[in-house]
Amino acid sequence: MRDVPLVREGDWGSRMFVIRSGTLVVSKGVSGHVENVLVHMKRGEFFGEMSVSRRRRSASVRALTDSVVLTLDREAIPSCWRRTVTRRSAS
């Protein structure tokens, strides 16, 4: 997926994303159709965590190159967190 918008600034969401491969661009609207590029994100980085805490998306994100992203729904995150904490405690 290239040049595909994943999230739009101001929208409500219920999931966050982890970049598996590719490059994504994070931007905010300035005025009209002008966008201010904030950062380029790559493998291992994540975004969308604000929507998981029931806030509007603060920026837009789109794929700059062919990319693969993993999604985590709001409901799945506590379970993932517990598994991570348990594994670290057992180590």
Q: Are the C-beta atoms of residues 76 and 52 closer than 8 Å to each other? A: no
* Confidence label for 69 from pLDDT (cuts 50, 70 and 90): very high
CATH number of the domain bearing residue 34: 2.60.120.10
Instruction: Count up the domains in the chain and report the number.
Output: 1
Q: Are 11 and 57 in contact (CB under 8 A)?
A: yes
pLDDT at 72 over 90: no
Nearest to 72 by CA among 54, 46, 40: 46
pLDDT digits over 10-28, tens only? Answer: 999 888 999 999 999 999 9
pTM: 0.77
Which residue segment(s) compose the domain that 47 sits in? 5-90
The single residue listed with the structure tokens 């493998």 is 43
Render pLDDT for 26-61 as a digit per residue (tens, 0 to 9).
999 887 777 899 999 999 999 988 877 788 899 999
- Collapsing DSSP states into helix, strand and coil, what is residue 77? helix
Average pLDDT, the chain: 85
